[in-house]
Chains A and B, each alone.
Chain A
Amino acid sequence: MRSKTSYFNPTLFKKNLARFWPLWGGASIIGALFPLYLLALLIHEGRPLLDNRLEATSLYYDALIYAVPAVSLVYGALCALAVWGWLYNTRSVGMYHSLPITRKGLFTTSLLSGLSMMLIPYAVTGTLTILVSLAAGVFEPVGLLVTILGVLGDTFFYFATATLVVFVTGNPFAFAAFYFIFHFLAAFAEWLVSRLMTAFYFGVEAAYGGVVEFLSPTMYLTRMLSAHVEHEELLMPDGWIDRGRSLSVTLVNGWLIAIYALAGAVLLAAAWALYRRRRSESAGEVVAVGWMKPIFRYGVAFCAAIAGGSLLYTLFCRDIFQTGTTASTVPMAVCMAVAGVLGYYIASMLLAKSLQVFRGSAKGVLGTAVAAVAVCCLIAADPWGVEAWVPEAGELESVTARLYGVHGGAAVATLEDPAGIQKILDAQAAVIAERDALERIWGSGLHRSTAQLHLTFRLKEGRSSAVYRYYDIPVSDGEQPEALRVLAALAADPAFQESSIFGDVTVQSRRNLREARLTGGYVDSLYNPETQSYEGLDLTLEQAGALEEAVRRDIQAGNFGRTLFLVSGEEYDRAVSDLHIQLNYALELQDSGPNRDSYVQNETISIGLSTYCTETLKALEDLGVLNEGRKLLTHAEQSALESGEAGVPFEGDYDPNSFPRSGSVVYPGDAYVYPGEEVDAALLH
């Protein structure tokens, strides 16, 4: 007959808190420093640090998004080690399990102890923050409540993951390793596989796609959560729109924390299931769960085969065996097999806690080596057609193409219309078709420069991630590859240049853009022969409007983007200048939130000019911007001036349909959207 089964033991609970008070006490003190610092500033400044309550809410949310996941990740591990650490020592396991308390009682009591230890510092910090907020008059209960719920969710999730890892492992070192592997394995595995594919496939780049990032919650939460602040717009006297006070603050994707908290409950249930089956004698082992040991052994071998194999190949084989940009299969397979076997033995040694693991390992080692070679050959054979994949225009939402010129400079455009997308895809197909020829040029070592085509495909519904392709085209003194001609044609294409220059201020390119209104401009790097210096000039709205029209005419005439793929450096220098036109716009944008509210944002685009932007140069002259005292200076002229020679006026003709070869043909100017990296960031996210 059984009786009296308790699920909570107050003595153990108190003992846990009493034993580890330095942990939660120290964390509380560190946490308390932040509100106390705000209080000190408040006293020092004599006024509230934040203008209104919503700014305080925004501050709460920023803490919830960036600080709480990272802090909880580390602190959760420490708390779990504190309350479950006895599982890692044979003596303490014996004591705890011989006590008159069931494992269920031990589990729930230790769980509550750990959660309490996690929450106490947050509670102390939160309470002090509330007091400081009240003192500063910026207390906002809704934001606070959302933050508290978020902290609770994060805390529960991280402690649950740490608890699960505790029951999988048998010693604290294994715990630390497994815990961080658990949290970052998905991202790491994606990176590993993409690295291997990059090594083998021409043009396939191991850009982090975050396909399985949701399995790495700290990274995912930090990326996905954001505090959206809607500001009042202030129309400034110069026509610029400035940001006023906050009107509302919302936590975007806050529901993800609730999902992770639910996942935490599942993980806790799994932890309990493991504890019920856990053998006390597993204390001290690396992996405490019997059926997980082969998974660990072969998992380590797999990761070692890919990561270590790639490393060995890079260190010892690439310079000897590789002729082009892609890896040689046989050496890579050997490297992967060696690294995989090493990983197998390392894992076996960790599991056995002994160096003597060689006897009887032949079967496992052979299996690992064969599997590593098979994986290598499978990836190298590319049965999925990753390398040759050129998507159909219809399956793409958009393509961002970045063209990097032979002598520097770049053009970035995002195209969404099928016709424009098809032009980019044709260029990609042309490059892929010349793969072997390009690899031969790489192998010959005769190339003196490189042009690049970087593509980012945004796939339509069902596939949310982006796909990347980076192609390097070698440029040598001999006959140039056909791909270079195709890229030159793409660079000068009006649709491409329209997007490249005006993409950020075009309704068709920017989904949330309702209206773009030109507000002014500026011309930079005008050369003054008298002072022999460069100067800038503000443009009136009318001047900016005239220049915008001229730029569009040049785009239509194919005058932009043609210098990118000039092979001759001399001709490039004779065409390109440092002169830039900056056009300022006020953009009316639509919020992506549920209310679809609109807001205004300022945007500036910068357009670099070459001597072949004839329409724009004429407009600059007509507007009096360019004259005897303010000149466009090409790089060649600049060099001549610097060396004391007479200026060499630009001469040349232009045929948009011809391939730029050294001698007679010169392509004027490229342009790029400023700031270019913002385009990239927008695409990535």
Chain B
Amino acid sequence: MIQVTNTVKRFDGFAALDGVTLSVPAGSVYGLVGPNGAGKSTLIRCLTGIYRQDEGELTIDGQSVWENEALKSRVAAIADDWYYFPQATIRDMCRFYRGFYPSFSMERYEKCKEVFQIDEKRPLRRLSKGMQKQAAFWLTLSAMPDYLILDEPVDGLDPVMRRQVWSLVLGDVSQRGTTVLVSSHNLRELEDVCDHVGILDHGRVLLERSLAQLQDNMVKLQVVFKDGGGVPEDLEVLHASKVGRIHTLIMRMSAEEATHRLAVYEPMLVDAVPLTLEEIFIYELGGADYAVKDIVL
């Protein structure tokens, strides 16, 4: 389990993390969502021992991450700007990683070779950005970590490769109980793979729930009022739009409660539609002054 408690990290007085508290259950896939500058990468760098937090505590399995060699040998990370030695090939980096990760599996490495199909003797700098990302996954997954921390991991990967990569990751989660913390702007990606989501904004966690809880807490309804009437003013909605006679309402409550509230106005039609994670993200952040209008659903 990854536990982050009241963590603060400042850069020249600016708090990139301003009292973050979240917990990633063991064996879960935790999506860390947030706009640019929310503090996602900073939190990940704190969790991987790159940055030292100014305040608070970060633990994995109850142990502090900072300077904990034994713990870090069970944690592998892929940064959004993954680094490789300029002249190195994948094979070179494999030898390098093997020297650090005791659980590095050459068997897994060979298996991944079939998945990624990249010439392991080609210098990494000559590979495309997407292929470099694949190489990062290849090496990181070969390290057989108990904890996998991914920062914007599938940027640059084509849809097929994304599916394959997630398949490998989720395979590890199901077979080895790997705990995954992943940050991404690709909310649709997270929706498909995450079972927990934390929304980070301005260095704070706005909400942290399981996907099921999130979806239960917000509802999207398609409603047709009698006589073509508009949305009643006393009805609390986060967002309302209208196409023809059909109103689409997004409300912060469960579908059951929303239906119950609408019953007062005797609508002609009330139909609950599943909210995407992207919609939840936008409307949750909308309350935190996020520029909702600029985001196309």
Contacts and interface: CB of A to CB of B under 8 A. Distances in A.
B69 A98 contact: no
A2 B68 contact: yes
A101 B69 contact: yes
Nearest to A6: B69
A2 B87 CA distance: 35
Given A97-B50, A98-B77, A105 B69 contact: yes
Contacts of B69: 2, 4-6, 100-102, 105
Interface string B92-109: 000110111100000000
A102 B68 CA distance: 7
Given A94-B45, A280-B51, A100 B72 contact: yes
A95 B101 contact: no
A11 B79 contact: no
B70 A3 contact: yes
Nearest to B72: A100
Interface residues on A, range: 20 to 34
A102 B71 CA distance: 11
The interface centre, meaning the residue of A4, A99, A100 with most chain B CB atoms within 10 A of its CB, is A100
A2 B70 contact: yes
A11 B68 contact: no
B50 A19 contact: no
Contacts of B67: 102-104
B177 interface: no
A142 interface: no
B51 A92 contact: no
A89 B82 CA distance: 12
A567 to B, nearest CB: 70
A281 interface: yes
Contacts of B45: 94, 280
A106 to B, nearest CB: 10
A155 B290 CA distance: 57
B51 A19 contact: no
A462 interface: no
Nearest to B145: A100
A397 B71 CA distance: 68
Contact of B51 (A3, A9, A15, A279): A279
B50 A99 contact: no
Interface residues of B, number: 29
A98 B99 contact: no
A619 interface: no
Contacts of A15: 85, 96, 99
B49 interface: yes
Contact of A12 (B49, B70, B99): B99
A11 B50 contact: no
Given A97-B49, A98-B72, A281-B51, A2 B63 contact: yes
Contact of A11 (B72, B85, B98): B98
Contacts, number: 79
B96 A11 contact: yes
A19 B87 contact: yes
A391 B146 CA distance: 78
Interface string A1-29: 11111100111101100010000000000
A94 B42 CA distance: 11
B11 A281 contact: yes
Interface string A92-135: 11110111111111000000000000000000000000000000
Interface in A353-380: none
Contact of B50 (A6, A12, A105, A280): A280
Contact of B99 (A9, A91, A93, A94): A9
A203 B98 CA distance: 70
Interface string B123-160: 00000000000000000000000000000000000000
A11 B88 CA distance: 14
Contacts of B50: 93-94, 97-98, 280
B48 interface: yes
B23 interface: no
A98 B48 contact: yes
Contacts of A5: 69-70
Interface string B65-86: 0011111110101010111010
A14 B67 CA distance: 22
Contacts of B68: 2
A408 to B, nearest CB: 64
A98 B52 CA distance: 12
Nearest to B99: A11
A98 B75 CA distance: 9
A4 B67 CA distance: 11
A289 to B, nearest CB: 14
Contacts of A14: 99
A244 B166 CA distance: 84
B23 to A, nearest CB: 20
Contact of B79 (A1, A3, A98, A102): A98
Contacts of A100: 69-73, 75, 100-101
8 contacts: A2-B69, A6-B69, A11-B95, A15-B99, A94-B45, A98-B50, A98-B77, A99-B72
Given A2-B70, A9-B99, A95-B82, 5 more contacts: A4-B69, A97-B49, A100-B75, A104-B67, A280-B51
The 8 A-B residue pairs whose C-beta atoms are closest, nearest first, are A11-B99, A100-B73, A95-B83, A100-B72, A91-B83, A98-B48, A97-B50, A4-B70
